[in-house]
């Protein structure tokens, strides 16, 4: 895949390095020539010094042939603009613009650009991590009859089969997150320490589930 | 005639003064505190709103939906283009004028970015200078 990354800051340079490491053709554009130092000596992609919405710069970067353009500058206006240029002027298949001020998400959408708010992502992810130790409702289905909840694997059940938690028609473990992976367990799958369970539960059976998980 | 001006610097302030003298209703949006003080002095008849002109909520509060003309005249082309796009496609402003700061960015000031009229100071000046030289020679 050929990708243009505009903005060689901490995030832009890390993205460019990762894409290059995965074998993609990367061209990095930045207005400050010393920004490219962040890429280190081993970077195999191209670097272009210039304004990220300048026609000559973009065409030199190959915008007519790329598969994606990612706008990672520190200006929301510039990111939105670069995204819109990619989308409307060059029909780049994938356009991603970083959004700093989450309140401006509406602006990006008005401009037809998909906003990626790294701050919102970070906040959401940290909240998720913090809530691992709670019995957390993540999804309510229908009129609230069925809920999907997340919880730590109960210490007492570690080493036993997941099926021990399932109650037909009431409680069903639907997924397990283990480290950075997730999978759908069989009833015979063994629970490990620090597993995080996603459990579908009838709302009427929640007290029973809480008891089973040792949270009264 | 209601004109909404984004950017209250020397250009925006001057445009506001002229329009007020012509009897227009003028609202100016300006982000910088020091510039706000001056534009309040220069264009006392204008309604002045402090804030960021690329914030859709602020544009709405400034009356973008009822503006006859929107002038995006900040000193940053990416900001002017963003404002023009919002003004035209989000608020449906009939006439959108945008200031071109760097002539290299002129290619973007077109209808697909919501711009009805691009005001390219450098090009105007270059043309005047060229005409002057033609006249002399």
In this complex, do B112 and A103 lie within 8 Å of one another by their Cβ atoms?
no
Calculate how close chain B gets to A209, using CA atoms only, in Å: 45
User: Choosing among B7, B72, B81, B112, which should be mutated to test the A contact, i.e. which has the most A CBs within 10 A?
Assistant: B81
* Stronger pLDDT, A138 or B58, i.e. the higher one: B58
Which residue among B54, B104, B108 sits closest to A77, beta carbon to beta carbon? B54
pLDDT score for A129? 66
Q: Return the closest-CA partner of residue B4 out of B68, B57, B54, B61.
A: B68
Q: Is residue B113 classed as helix, strand or coil in its secondary structure?
A: helix
Average pLDDT value for residue range B5-16: 94
Render pLDDT for A167-196 as a digit per residue (tens, 0 to 9): 999 999 999 999 889 999 998 999 998 899
Task: Give the residue among B87, B78, B80 at the shortest CA–CA distance from B56.
Answer: B87
Asked if A107 lies within 8 A of B54 by C-beta distance, the reply is yes
Q: With 90 as the cut, is the pLDDT of residue B14 above it?
A: yes
pLDDT tier at B24 (50, 70, 90 boundaries)? very high
Mean of the per-residue pLDDT values of chain A: 89
Q: What pLDDT, in 10s, does the model give residues A80-133? A: 999 999 999 999 999 999 998 877 787 787 777 888 888 888 887 777 666 555
Residue A207, judged by CB atoms within 10 A of its CB (0-12, 13-18, 19+), counts as: exposed
Strand, helix or coil for residue A196: strand
Is the model's pLDDT at B137 over the cut of 80? no
B107, closest residue in chain A (CA to CA): A55
Spatial contact of A27 and A50, defined as CB atoms under 8 Å apart: no
d(CA A139, CA A70): 32
Calculate the dihedral angle through the C-alpha atoms of A98, A99, A105, A107, rounding to the nearest 10 degrees: -80
Q: What is the ipTM of this complex?
A: 0.82
Among B76, B78, B112, beta carbon nearest to A88: B112
Higher-confidence residue: A156 or B36? B36
| CB neighbour list of residue A4: distance below 8 Å, 6 or more residues apart | A26, A27, A28, A29, A58, A61, A62, A63, A66, A68, A69, A70
How many Cβ atoms sit within 10 Å of the Cβ of residue B84?
A: 29
SS3 category, A85 = helix
Note the pTM of the prediction, 2 decimals. Answer: 0.72
């Amino acid at each position: 895949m050929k990708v243009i990354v505009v903005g060689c800051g901490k995030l832009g340079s890390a993205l460019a390095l990762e894409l290059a490491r995965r074998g993609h053709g990367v061209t990095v554009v930045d207005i400050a020539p010393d920004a490219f130092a962040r890429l280190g000596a081993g970077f195999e992609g191209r670097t272009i010094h210039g304004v990220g919405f300048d026609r000559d710069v973009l065409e030199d970067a190959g915008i007519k042939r790329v598969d994606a353009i990612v706008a990672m500058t520190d200006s929301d206006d510039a990111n939105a603009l670069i995204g819109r240029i990619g989308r409307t002027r060059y029909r780049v298949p994938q356009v991603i613009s970083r959004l700093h001020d989450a309140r401006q998400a509406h602006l990006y959408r008005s401009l037809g650009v998909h906003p990626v708010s790294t701050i919102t992502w970070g906040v959401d992810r940290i909240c998720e991590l913090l809530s691992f130790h709670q019995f957390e409702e993540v999804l309510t289905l229908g009129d609230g009859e069925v809920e999907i909840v997340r919880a730590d694997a109960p210490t007492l059940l570690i080493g036993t089969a997941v099926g021990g938690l399932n109650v037909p028609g009431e409680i069903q473990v639907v997924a397990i997150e283990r480290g950075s992976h997730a999978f759908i367990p069989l009833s015979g799958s063994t629970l490990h320490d620090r597993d995080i369970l996603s459990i579908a539960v009838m709302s009427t059976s929640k007290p029973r589930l809480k008891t089973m998980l040792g949270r009264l | 005639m209601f004109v909404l001006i984004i950017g209250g610097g020397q250009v925006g302030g001057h445009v506001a003064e002229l329009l007020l003298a012509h009897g227009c209703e003028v609202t100016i949006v300006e982000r910088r505190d020091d510039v706000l003080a001056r534009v309040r002095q220069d264009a006392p008849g204008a309604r002045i709103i402090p804030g960021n002109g690329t914030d859709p909520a602020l544009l709405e509060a400034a009356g973008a939906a009822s503006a006859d003309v929107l002038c995006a005249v900040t000193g940053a082309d990416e900001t002017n283009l963003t404002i023009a796009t919002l003004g035209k496609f989000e608020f449906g402003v009939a006439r959108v004028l945008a200031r071109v700061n760097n002539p290299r960015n002129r290619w973007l000031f077109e209808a697909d970015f919501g711009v009805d009229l691009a005001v390219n100071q450098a090009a105007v000046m270059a043309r005047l200078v060229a005409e002057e030289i033609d006249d002399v020679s």
